[in-house]
Amino acid sequence: MTIKLHVFPLSPRAFKVMWCANHLGIGFEPVMVDFAKGTHRTPEFSGLNPNMRMPVLQEGDFCLWESNAIVQYLASLKPGLLPEDLKCRLTAVKWQFWDSAHWDPACAIFAFENYVKKLFGRGEASGSEIARGNEMFARLAPVLDGQLQKQRYVAGDALTVADVSIGAMNFISEQAKFPLEGYRAIQRWAADLKSLPSWQNTVAQARASLPQA
C-alpha cells in the first residue's frame, strides 16, 4: 500500500517525516498541503486530521498525525532508527517526548516570528515573542547541548528517532535564527546531521517542490 505524506515541504515538521522516510529508504508519495490556498482548512483535509495541521501520513484507511508519531511508525517499518533494546528504545522515545513538549514549541516561536511571517508577508517579528523564545531556549538548549557533549547523537553513539525528531528544526536554522550561539555541541551535531546524504536529498526534494523556495 502506498504511503502518502501530506506536507507543506518548507516546514521543518514536514521535513522531519520526509527525512525519516528517505533515511530509511521508505518510498512515499508527497501530497502538497498548500497553506497559501488554505488546503488544510478544507473538509477533506480535516477528515484526515481534525486539528487541520500537517504533516499527516495516510496509508489506505490508516491516518496518522503528529510528526513524532509518524516518525515512530516509519521507524517501526524498517530497522535503522529505533533501537531494539527496550531501555535504549525508550531513551530515544523519551527525547521525542521532550521534543514535542519543550523543544518544538520553543523553536516554533522563532520559526513563526523570523521565518513564517516573512514567507507569508505577515509583518515584522514581535520583540516580546522573541524574548519569550530566548527565555525558553536559555533553559532548554543547555540540556540538549549537555547531552551532546557526552555523546555523538542524542540517545547514544548511533543516529535514532530522537535525532530525527529534534534535529529536523535545523532545516530552517538560518531563516529562523535560533539563538544557538555558544552551544558548540549542538552546532557540531547539526552539522553532522546536515552532512547526511538522506538530509541533503530531502532538502533538494523539499526545495524542488516549491518554486519560491
Ligand X SMILES: N[C@@H](CCC(=O)N[C@@H](CS)C(=O)NCC(=O)O)C(=O)O
Interaction site with ligand X (CB under 6 A): 11, 13, 40, 52-55, 66-67
The nearest distance, CB 31 to ligand X, in angstroms, is: 13
Contact of 178 with 171, CB cutoff 8 Å: no
How does DSSP assign 79-109, residue by residue? TTSS-SSHHHHHHHHHHHHHIIIIIHHHHHH
The nearest distance, CB 55 to ligand X, in angstroms, is: 6
CA distance 35 to 37: 5
Of all residues in the shown chain, the one whose CB is closest to ligand X is 53
Q: Which is nearer to ligand X, 26 or 185 (CB)?
A: 26
Q: Which is nearer to ligand X, 23 or 53 (CB)?
A: 53
The nearest distance, CB 193 to ligand X, in angstroms, is: 18
Q: Which is nearer to ligand X, 66 or 192 (CB)?
A: 66
Q: Give the type of residue at 106.
A: A
The nearest distance, CB 53 to ligand X, in angstroms, is: 3
Q: What CA–CA distances, in Å, run from 156 to 121, 150, 163, 172?
A: 41, 9, 10, 25
